[in-house]
Structures are given as C-alpha cells and as structure tokens.
C-alpha cells in the first residue's frame, strides 16, 4: 500500500509586536549593519541609511532576518522569505490583538500575496 505524497514545503508564519525602548540603539545597529554590507551599492546605501534614520520600523526590518530564525534548524533550507515592519498603536488588552486569530479560517493575511521576498 502506498502513502499519498505530501509537500516538503512548509509556510511558517510569525507575527511579533516589539516595544522599542531605545530608538537610537536600534537605528545605530541598523546603520552599522548597512555599513558592514560590502555588496551594497553606494546609491542603495545612501537610501537605506536615510530610511533607517527616519523610521524605526525600517531600521528593525534591516536588523530582523528570517534566515536567523531557521538558519541552524537541521534538515531545512529557507526557500523564500518576506517580511515587513510598521509602527502601530498597540493595546495588549484589546481583543483585536489576539494572536493566532488569522489562523482560524486559513485565509491569506491581507496584503500577503505569497510573491517575491520583500526588498530591504
């Protein structure tokens, strides 16, 4: 008797809400990461430095890398990643902030088209 084939691909969804206590530390770390990237063209570097200086959420997007989450997990290889960040109003007591709520119906999250990775 044969078993049905199953996909080897798994979509792992992670949603984080972070509280930034030290904007300067986040911005500084993002600027340091950009400075360390020897492959980044000068025009892109200037744009990236301006973006992370003006927007803490953008700075976090330069610091959080999905590969870091799964890079050392044995037996898996990251195939595609997409992530974004945004400043939000957060009320942990609000029922609007129940984690996992989107998982109930299995629909794609709003704005997630499963397309190409986001550009940082």
Q: What is the pLDDT of residues 4-15, one digit of tens each?
A: 678 899 998 888
Q: Is the pTM of this model over 0.95?
A: no
The pLDDT of residue 97 is 75
Short-list 71, 61, 16, 54, CA closest to 34: 61
| Phi, psi for 84 (deg, rounded to 5) | -150, 165
Q: What is the pLDDT of residues 98-108, one digit of tens each?
A: 766 555 444 44
Short-list 116, 48, 47, CA closest to 79: 116
Q: Provide, rounded to the nearest whole percent, the portion of the chain with pLDDT above 70.
A: 78
């Amino acid at each position: 008797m044969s078993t049905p084939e199953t996909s080897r691909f798994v979509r792992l969804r992670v949603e984080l809400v972070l509280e930034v206590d030290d904007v300067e530390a986040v911005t500084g770390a993002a600027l340091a990461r950009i400075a360390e990237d020897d492959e980044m063209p000068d025009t892109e570097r200037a744009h990236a430095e301006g973006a992370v200086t003006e927007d803490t959420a953008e700075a976090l997007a330069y610091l959080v890398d999905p590969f870091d989450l799964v890079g050392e997990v044995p037996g898996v290889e990251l195939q595609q990643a997409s992530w974004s960040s945004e400043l939000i109003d957060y009320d942990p007591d609000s029922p609007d902030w129940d984690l996992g709520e989107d998982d109930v119906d299995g629909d794609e999250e709003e704005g997630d088209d499963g397309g190409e990775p986001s550009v940082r």
